[in-house]
Amino acid sequence: MDELEQTRLRRCDEFSTITGSDSAVAQCYLAENDWDMERALNSFFEADMESVFDVEDGEEGRPVSKRKGTDRPERTGDAPEKKRMHSAQVDCIDLTEEEPACSSSTSSKENESDGDSKLSIISWNVDGLDTLSLAERARGLCSYLALYTPDVVFLQELIPSYAQYVKKRAVSYLFIEGNEEGYFTGLMLKKSRVKLQKSEIISYPTTQMMRNLLCAQVTFLGKEVYLMTSHLESCKDQATERMKQLGMVFQKIKEAPDNMTVIFGGDTNLRDSEVAKVGGLPAGVTDVWEDLGKQEHCRYTWDTKTNSNKSVSYVSRCRFDRIYLRPSKTESRMASEHMTLVGMEKLDCGRYTSDHWGIYCTFTT
């Protein structure tokens, strides 16, 4: 087998992993797009993605498109049967006023007052590529946001219809998207407490999975904060690319001005050995979960033992989702205070909000 054929077979495998399609579909889309991975993925999503909820007029939902792939290998077999959904009439609703539909043991009282000096964050891979029960799961996300009223939200694996749905309900938040097509990350900033100065999207030059780094310079109650979110390259065999992307994240953290607090949150897909291979965390940077004592109840954010959204035959428990903190070097230091996992209650549809648990954490300022 020559080198060109090997390269094309590898790209077919990567395409199939991302989209959940078979090798024939992968080869078709790649060949039609001159074997350019990004163009082929964009073509696939544009052709196959149909919104599962209409946020403009609440009309009857279109048929759900065939299930897309996720970061992790799925069991073989036919895709789940398509079904129809109905969406209720939608108005613009302030999330902080919305009655939560999901129960939780943690109260949001501490975040209700705009005078609260603690910074609260949720980071969550919402698995928008899985279109099964997507409308119900998106409502689940909104319920958790209403319950916790975080100041900042890091979202990964959004699709356009999911992002539009959340924006229509989250009128108390400024929504910044990491892209406009395919799947992408997002940042949500609570308007009453977090003020955007500027934002940027930093490309990963060698990504094969449309990944990038979304950054925003903000002020929180007068303090300078640099926010970063990303969805690093997925799958075990993409460790080299993932570590390159992590290196770019660390470099950006180190380059942030000394007067800024830097917070990164996202689906890193990291294994601890990979962090060690890039030299560990930069000086002054802490992993929030480790800093708070490595509490076992919030170790695993990807947990097929507990989370049944993915019908897989294996058990995988990983700490893919992580939050890093670099306090300001010149101003009063922000410190990690609390961390817990969210999304661990099943919705009425019988599924969880995502195949990942979300991370909720607070910082003292």
Which residue has better confidence, 159 or 96? Answer: 159
Asked about 267 being catalytic, the answer comes back as yes
Does the structure show a pLDDT above 50 at 88?
A: no
* DSSP of 233-301: PPSGGGHHHHHHHHHHHHHHHHHS-TTSEEEEEEE----HHHHHHTTSSPTT-EEHHHHTT--GGGS-S
How high is the pLDDT of residue 46? 60
Most confident of 160-169, 288-297, 304-313: 288-297
d(CA 197, CA 333): 21
For domain 3-48, the CATH class is mainly alpha
Distance of CA 261 to the CA centre of its chain: 21
pLDDT score recorded for residue 53: 55
The pLDDT value recorded for residue 10 is: 86
Most confident of 174-183, 286-295, 328-337: 286-295
How does the average pLDDT of the chain come out, rounded?
A: 83
**CATH code matching the domain that covers 95-364, chosen among 3.10.580.10, 1.10.357.10, 3.60.10.10, 3.40.50.2000:** 3.60.10.10
User: For 12-26, 98-112, 204-218, 279-293, which range has the lowest pLDDT when averaged over its residues?
Assistant: 98-112
Pick from 114, 168, 119, 169: which is nearest to 144 by CA?
A: 169
For 26, 31, 64, 168, 302, the CA distances from 124, given in Å and listed in that order, are 28, 34, 23, 19, 11
Q: Residue 340 pLDDT > 50, yes or no?
A: yes
Of the residues 267, 303, 321, 355, which is catalytic? Answer: 267
pLDDT, residue 125, reads 98
Upper half-sphere CA count for residue 22 (Cβ side, 13 Å): 5
Task: Count how many Cα atoms sit within 13 Å of the Cα of residue 178 in the half-sphere of its side chain.
Answer: 29
Asked if the model's pLDDT at residue 102 lies above 70, the reply is no
Mean pLDDT of 192-196: 97
Is 347 a residue whose pLDDT tops 70? yes
- Residues 168-177 have a mean pLDDT of 94
The single-letter code of the amino acid at 171 is V
The model's confidence at residue 337, banded by pLDDT at 50, 70 and 90, is very high
List pLDDT tens digits, range 27-73: 878 888 888 887 888 777 665 444 445 533 344 333 333 333 344 33
pTM of the model: 0.76
**H/E run at residue 140:** helix 134-148
Name the residue ranges covered by the structural domains of the chain. 3-48, 95-364
pLDDT at 95 > cutoff 60 = no
Q: With bands split at pLDDT 50, 70 and 90, how would you rate the model's confidence at 332?
A: confident
**Which pLDDT belongs to residue 84?**
28
pLDDT digits (tens, 9 = 90+) for 253-281: 999 999 999 999 999 999 999 999 999 99
